[in-house]
Structure 1
Amino acid sequence: MRLTGYNSQLFPLYLMAIGTFAIGTDTFIVAGVLSDISDTFAVSIAQTGQLISVFALAYMLFAPLTAWLLGNVNRKRILQLALVLFIAGNLACACATNYLQVSVGRVLAALGAACYTPQAAAAAVGLVEEKRRGLAISIVYGGMTLAIALGIPFGTFLAKLIGWREVFLFIALLGAIALLGLSLALHTLAPPDKHSLKKRLAPLRQKAVLTTLLITFFAVCSEHIVYSYVSVLLINTRFGPEAILPLALLIFGVGAAIGNVASGVLTDALGSKFVLLLSVTIQTLSLFLLTFYIASPWWVLALFLAWGITGWMYLVPIQHRLLSLPNHVGALAASLNSSVLYAGIAAGGMLGGLTLYALPAHYLPLFSLPLGATALLLTLIFFQKETHNE
C-alpha cells in the first residue's frame, strides 16, 4: 500500500522513533543485567556498572563534536552513519569475550547514538508543516519514552529468559530495522547549520545558562547514582519467590510516560519554576525513602512510580527556559543540556560504583540526597535572582 499525504509525512517519523526506542533501551539496559554481565566476565558489580557511565560519558563528548564535524553532511547520511555505528557497537557487546570488548562496544554505540538523536529530531521538524512540528518531535522522542516504559523492563525480563547477549542482539536488530526503513523512506535532507565548536560552547559564558545546566547535572546525577545499580539494590526485594525488578522497572517506566506528558501541560499552566521545584523535591524525597523501605515490595513500587513521574518532569521546564533565551543562544544551550544530562548519568554511575566498593547497595539512595538538595538550592537561588532582576 502506497502512503500519501499526511501518512507519508508521519511514516519516516515512526521509523526514526524505532531508532530512538533502540537507543533509549540501550542507554540503560545494563542497569537491569548488571549481575549477569558481572558473572560472565568475573568482574565486580561496581565495575560492571561503569558500562553505563562509559556510554553516557562518550555520548556527552561525542554529541557536540559530531554536530560540529558533520555540519556539512546531509542529514539522511548522518542518520545512516549513526545507525551503522550504533548497530556495530551493540553487536560488539553481544559477541564480546571480555570486559574491555564490551566497553569498546558501548563507546561505539554511544557514538552512533550521539550522532542520531539530535539529528533525528531536527530532521523530523523539516519533514512536516510548521503547525505539526511539535507532533513530529513528540513522535521521535516518544521512542525514548517508550523505551523507558517498556523497552528496559522487557529487556531485563528477556535477559533472564535467554541471556544478556541476546538483548544486545535484539537492540541491534531494532537499529537495523530503522536503518533499512529510513534508507528507503527518506529523501536527501539538507545538512544542519555549520557552527564552530567555539560558538557551540559560547552559551556557557552566560550565568543563566551555566546555572540551569548545573541544575540538570545535579538532578540527573542524584537519580542515576541509584538507577545505575537498581538490579543490585532490589536483588533481595521480592513478591514471594518472584523478583520485583522487572515489575519495578515497568512501574518506573509507566511513571516516566505520565511525567513526560504531564510536565508540558503543568509547565504551561503553572510555570517552569513550580514544576522544576516540585519534581526535583519529590524525586529527591522518593529516593531518600528507598533507603528505609527497600525491603517492602509495595513501598518500593509506590516510590518507583513517584520517582518515575518526577524524574521525567524536570527536564521539560529546564528545556523550556533554555529555549526561551534570545537569538540562537537557546537552541545551542538546549543542545548543551543534552550533553550535560549524559554527564550527570555518567557521574551518577561512577559515584554509585565508588560507593559500592565500600558500602552495601541499600546506602546508595542516601547519597542521592545531597545531590538532589544541591539541584533544589540552585533552582531557588537562580529563580530568586531572576525574579528580583525582573
Structure 2
Amino acid sequence: MTEAILEADLPIIDPHHHLWDLRAMLPMFPEPRHRFIETLIPVAHYTFDQLQEEVAASGHNVIATVFMECGAFYNGAYGEALKPIGEVEFVNGVAAQSASGLYGEARLCAGIVGHADLMLGASAGEVLDALQAAAPDRFKGIRHQGAWDADPEVLGPPFHAPPELYRNETFREGFAELGKRDMSFDAWILEPQIGDVTDLARAFPDTPICLDHCGTPLGNASYSGKLEERFPIWRDAILELGQCENVMVKLGGLAMHNCDLPPEGPAAGWSSEKLAPLWKPYIETCIEAFGPSRAMFESNYPVDRWGASYPVLWNTFKRITAGASADEKAALFAGNAARFYGLEERLA
C-alpha cells in the first residue's frame, strides 16, 4: 500500500520493534502451522538491513528507535540465566552501526530493552547488572512477558507464560531488583490479564512500567467475533490501570493476529483511512485513561506487518490524532518515549 505521508516532519521515536533471524526455527513447527507462525514467515529474517530500509523508505521522520527483547541471538555459552546477554550484545552492535551515521540520521536501537528471568528472584539482579554492562549507554530495562490464556490457540507457540505470573511472589522478588537499579519494565499480557499489571504497579509504585500493545485486545481463537462484546471489559480495565501514575501505555500492536484488527494478513494492504476507524476506539481510550503525557505510539515491527506497512501504520496513528494539539503530538510520537527510555538527547 502506497499513500501520501501525513505530517512528514513530525519527529517520531519508535519505542518498540524487534530484530531476529528465525529461519532455522521455522521448520521446527509442523504443518498445519499456527496462525502466529504464518505471520512470521515473510519476516523470518529481520535485522539491521531490513529495519534500516524500513525506516529510511517510510517517508516519516523517525529519529530514533528502541529495541524490544524477543528471545533472539541468545548465547548459550553464558549459561541458562545469562544467555539473554547475547541478544543485548547483538543489538548494541546494531546500534553502533547506526550511530556511525553512515546509514542516515535515525539512531536505530538507541535504547535497548532486554530480558532477565525474574523468576530467579533476587538473583535476577546479577543478570540485570550483566545486561547493563553489555550495553552501558543503551540498556534501559527489561521485558518479562506474562501473556497467558486458557485457550492455547490464542497465543500459539512459542509463548505461554504461567498464569498470574506478575502476582507470583518469587517473580516480584526479581522485579524488586529493577527498582534498585532505576530500570524500567515492559509488560506484555493479554486483555483479560490487565488487572495483573495493575496489581503489580500498585505493589511497586516507584518502578516505571509500560503496558505494551494497548493491553492486547483479543479477537482470535475462542475470542473470535467478540471484540465489540469485550470492549467495555477492556476499557474498564484500562481506565483502572491508568490511575497508576507509574504506568505508561504503548499505542499499537493492534495489527497483531491476536487482535484481528484487521482479520486479513499478512501485509493485508489496508489503507490508513480504513485502519484508523478500527484502531481509534482503543487508542483514544488509552489516551483518555493515561493522558497524552503517559502514552506513546509504537510500530511493533515486524510483527504488525501482518496488518499494515510501516508507512501506513504511522499514517494511521497520525489520522487518529489529527485533532490533537502540536504539544500533544510531540509527546505521543516522540517526547514520552524519549523520557521513559532516557533518549532526551535525540530531541535536543
Tell me whether the two structures share a fold, i.e. TM-score over 0.5. Answer: no
Query: TM-score normalised to the size of structure 2?
Result: 0.27
Query: TM-score normalised to the size of structure 1?
Result: 0.25
Higher helix share: 1
Higher strand share: 2
